[in-house]
Structure 1
Amino acid sequence: MSRIVVFSRVYSLAWVKQVTSLDFKHVDFAFVSYDSLVELKDLFIEKIQQVDGIIFSGQIPYFYIQNHFPDIQVPMLHFDISAEDFYRVLSEELYRNKEFQMQRCSMDFIYEENDYLGLKEWVRPEEFPQLFTNTIQIYDSDDIYDEILDYHLKVWNTGKIDVCMTRLTNLPQLLEPYGIKPIVIHPSQKSMKEKIESLLKIIKLNKLIENQVVIGHLELNKNSDNVVDLDYRQMSLHKAILDFGRINKIKFIIHRNALYFEIITSYSDFKEITNDMTKCNLALYLTNELRFPVQIGWGIGHSIQDAQLSAQKAAANNKSPVTEAYVFTKEGQLVGPLGQLAQLEISTQTDPTLDELSSKLHTSSLQLQKVKAIMDKLQTNLLSAEDLSSHLGITDRAASRILKKLEEQGAATASLKQQKKLRGRPKKVYTIHFDDLI
């Protein structure tokens, strides 16, 4: 079952909901309406984690969200009128209105990016319709709906048009006081079905990619001075791998060999472990937990054999005397080492104050010690999930759970911090209050 959320202005819901009558048996549609693009931005943030794909009622909300959330990886498309839809409506108008002149018609849905729906191929420049814009780039505006309304009014009041064609469903009631009756064009059910089918193909492809096999090859140094304590190192490494999986709620299949371990996981978990192949949380975790280095190689493949071979190649290229990770992709590309490890110094001395705080918060003293060490290193009590993950070698999701628990116990207060580029979702940060509880 694929979960698709459909974002639509309130006025467009009637025609948008026609998708439920189309033959999509394994799709769960959820309809979310909004009144303004600012409201859409908030609703988008709320719904993005719950769906496999997103479709917008038109090009305006689609382009607006794409510009404000350029890094979102959830598949997104928008309903649009096809050339067939447009020429059907145009033919009806030509049949009904014998005095229709193309150059005296305003349109807000034709631009360079949709090839002007073929008009430039047969309409002479002097007979071309009055266009709101020649490019979709102008739609990146909080006030775009008002701007479109003002445009149609302007060309009407200056006597340039007799007919108005629009994609905006609520435009008729806004133009009615001025005696203007616009022609509203909706995508046909055929166009809507084709768009949903395209979105489902993208979702299916993404799921195939997410289910690729990934193998991690974790190799101990073969130096002669390892031999005596090899058993100890193997047990320590095995325990650390299990602890990493437990902390991050990631299930590994672990194979143990004399000098190395293999862990089998999915591509989606691999992306989380390596932050999309930029920083290996497992390497950082092992650096903090073990007193000896481990060479990590990740291999991606469509079969276990392919992934195994790639992981071994990645590990073989890892010549570092410290714990680092490399990736060998299915395209044969070697990536690494992944990121700079932010090592953390944690005191091994017992801290009675933290022990007392541990009892109050029902949180392990070691975990509190790690959080305190991060604050000392960064010289701030304002921490984000990214701060914890980059220092503790855990995923952002696991780090968020730690901070959330501290908040629930009254040891932290959450707030939102806007990103420096002023785009994307504001980052949640936590003010840690250990001193207030001691």
Structure 2
Amino acid sequence: MARILILTTENSLEWVKQVEALPVEPCEYSFMVYQSLEHLKDIFLEQIRLVDGVLFSGQIPHFFVQQHFPDVDIPMLHFDVTQTDFYRALSEYMYTNRDFQLKRCLIDFLYEENNYLGVKEWTEEEDFPYIFDATMQSYADQQVYEKMTNYHVKLWKEGKIDVSMTRLSRLPDILKPYGVNLILVVPSQRSMVEKVNELLKEIQILQLIENQVVIAHLELSITRENFRDLEYKQMSLYKAILDFSRKNNMKFIIHQNTFFYEVITNYSDFKLITSDMESCKLVSYLSTELPFVVKIGWGIGNSIQAAQLNAEKAAHLCTTSETQSYILTKEAKLIGPLGSEDYIQVDTQYDSATEKLSAKLNTTSLQLKKIIAVMNKLQTNILSAEDLSIHLGITERAANRILKKLEEKGAAKVTTQQQKKLRGRPKKVYQLYLEEV
């Protein structure tokens, strides 16, 4: 059963509570009333870890939270006045007030992001109603309620409007002393059902993502010289994996092979370990705890077999003399090496143009895609061996060999670039012409 938090003002609580009787999938609702947008920030931070999704009574609190907590990935929506709800309220008022003029009306919930609820499509410019602001950006202001109230009062006192329409349930009480003719528009039950179902769908999708299979392939670098140390390395690596899981309160399923370990975990823990696929805490831990190199490949898939294959492929891309980590997602996107601001993302799916180019240059399509990814990240086609070394996690010698080979095939030209703040010989760089080969 989904746990849904509903954040609302005291004035909206009555109609919001109708959600408990709606014909939707059973949910566990909790209601929290906020007194101000600053109070809302505190409640939000306290409660989001306890629920699966959040519903707001209106667009202002929702937009405010989105602007102040952009990295929160929990599903969040707000009960909204749909076009149907709006035109029903407008029609009812026009029926009983035959002298109504739209141009003498203030509607504070029309803006560009909701396409002005279609009003611009059927009105002339001179007949368009007053609005609070053309964009929702203004609604993220902590003083938005005060500013909106003042705007209603100002237009009313100046005699520019005969009626105001609002979504803010607290405005009727605030504007009553001023005698403002106000229509409060709230979402219909039908709109509320649609919104709850939409949120439940987002929660289910997120849960499916969280339940993806994630496998880490941890491979030892074995050579003829260090083969005798294999048993020691296996035991040390196994202990380090267990210690890491205990210290981070994570449950791993560990499978041992002769030269590698497979660690099966869930997507949530994987995101924590990799800081949302940007760095790798396991790399940092093993680099500190172990005196030897470990290649770590993370594989994501809808099945164990798919995740295993992706993890093994990712591990084989670790080519440096230090512990390193790559990710290969189920969409075939390669990310790494993790732990550096210089990591790149590469789409490894089959691409006919790249395959043809790789055949001409006698190199792998993956290597070409990685080089292109570096150029895209640096926003230049002029690269040095150091650039490739940093972004691909390889030695400068290996990077030089790659660039030299491209030069021999006519896909690169040697040039020079004066080093900043340094004396001596200019830096050797290559200008790449991959698209012209």
TM-score, normalized by the shorter chain, greater than 0.5 = yes
Q: Is the 8 A contact 2:6 2:31 kept in 1?
A: yes
Aligned partner of 1:247 in structure 2 is 247
Any idea what SS the aligned residue of 2:146 has?
A: helix
In 1, the alpha carbon distance for the partners of 2:187 and 2:172 equals 17
Whichever residue aligns with residue 42 of structure 1, its letter is D
In 2, the alpha carbon distance for the partners of 1:308 and 1:185 equals 54
Aligned partner of 1:212 in structure 2 is 212
Q: Please give the residue correspondences for 1:402-421 in structure 2 after superposition, counting only pairs within 5 Å.
A: none
Aligned partner of 2:76 in structure 1 is 76
Q: Please give the residue correspondences for 1:16-415 in structure 2 after superposition, counting only pairs within 5 Å.
A: 16-340=16-340
Greater RCO, 1 or 2 (C-alpha within 8 Å, sep 6+): 1
In 2, the alpha carbon distance for the partners of 1:103 and 1:284 equals 64
Structure 1 stretches of at least 4 aligned residues deviating more than 4 Å after TM superposition: none
In 1, the alpha carbon distance for the partners of 2:224 and 2:154 equals 84
In 2, the alpha carbon distance for the partners of 1:205 and 1:305 equals 22
Q: Is the 8 A contact 1:172 1:181 kept in 2?
A: no
In 1, the alpha carbon distance for the partners of 2:214 and 2:272 equals 12
In 2, the alpha carbon distance for the partners of 1:208 and 1:198 equals 16
Whichever residue aligns with residue 21 of structure 1, its letter is A
Cα displacement (A) at 1:228: 1.1
Any idea what SS the aligned residue of 2:38 has?
A: helix
Aligned partner of 1:395 in structure 2 is none
What stretches of structure 1 of length at least 5 have no aligned partner? 342-438
In 1, the alpha carbon distance for the partners of 2:199 and 2:72 equals 15
The farther-off stretch of 157-166 and 332-341 is: 332-341
Any idea what SS the aligned residue of 1:55 has?
A: strand
Whichever residue aligns with residue 85 of structure 2, its letter is D
What stretches of structure 2 of length at least 5 have no aligned partner? 342-437
In 2, the alpha carbon distance for the partners of 1:171 and 1:276 equals 42
In 1, the alpha carbon distance for the partners of 2:172 and 2:271 equals 48
TM-score, length-scaled by structure 1: 0.76
Whichever residue aligns with residue 151 of structure 1, its letter is Y
TM-score, length-scaled by structure 2: 0.76
Paired positions, count: 341
In 2, the alpha carbon distance for the partners of 1:12 and 1:306 equals 49
Q: Is the 8 A contact 2:210 2:267 kept in 1?
A: yes
Q: Deviations over 1:286-339 (max 9, x none)?
A: 111111111111111001111111011001111111111111111212211111
Whichever residue aligns with residue 278 of structure 1, its letter is E
Whichever residue aligns with residue 179 of structure 1, its letter is G
Q: Is the 8 A contact 2:222 2:230 kept in 1?
A: no
In 2, the alpha carbon distance for the partners of 1:226 and 1:218 equals 17
Whichever residue aligns with residue 176 of structure 1, its letter is K
Aligned-residue CA RMSD (Å):
1.2
Cα displacement (A) at 1:244: 1.0
Cα displacement (A) at 1:23: 2.3
Aligned partner of 1:378 in structure 2 is none
In 1, the alpha carbon distance for the partners of 2:120 and 2:340 equals 54
Cα displacement (A) at 1:181: 3.3
Any idea what SS the aligned residue of 1:295 has?
A: strand
Whichever residue aligns with residue 296 of structure 2, its letter is I
